[in-house]
Amino acid sequence: MSIRRKLIGAYLGIAVLFGLYGSMFGLYSYRGFMYNLGRGLVWPTILFPAVGHLIGGLIIVGFVLFLIFFVRSPD
């Protein structure tokens, strides 16, 4: 088993545990398990809010670059 598979498995394992904890004891326990599992898939952004801001900024910059380089203006 490669190191890549181990890291992905560990990340997904943490996501499932984060989702289970959130659906049973967390702030959003009134929501369903799938909602909390979705939050668990992005657990670094929840534990470290600066990571969420960084990812959001990269998405915005990527979108702007996409518009600049790949969308043609009407002539």
CA distance 32 to 42: 16
Q: What is the 3-state secondary structure (H, E, C) of the chain?
A: CCHHHHHHHHHHHHHHHHHHHHHHCCCCCCCCHHHHHHHHHCHHHHHCHHHHHHHHHHHHHHHHHHHHHHCCCCC
User: In this predicted structure, what is the pLDDT of residue 12?
Assistant: 93
Mean pLDDT, the chain, integer:
90
**Span 16-37, pLDDT tens digits:** 999 999 999 988 999 989 999 9
**Span 30-64, pLDDT tens digits:** 998 999 999 889 888 888 889 889 988 999 999 99
| Structure tokens belonging to residue 25 | 């004891």
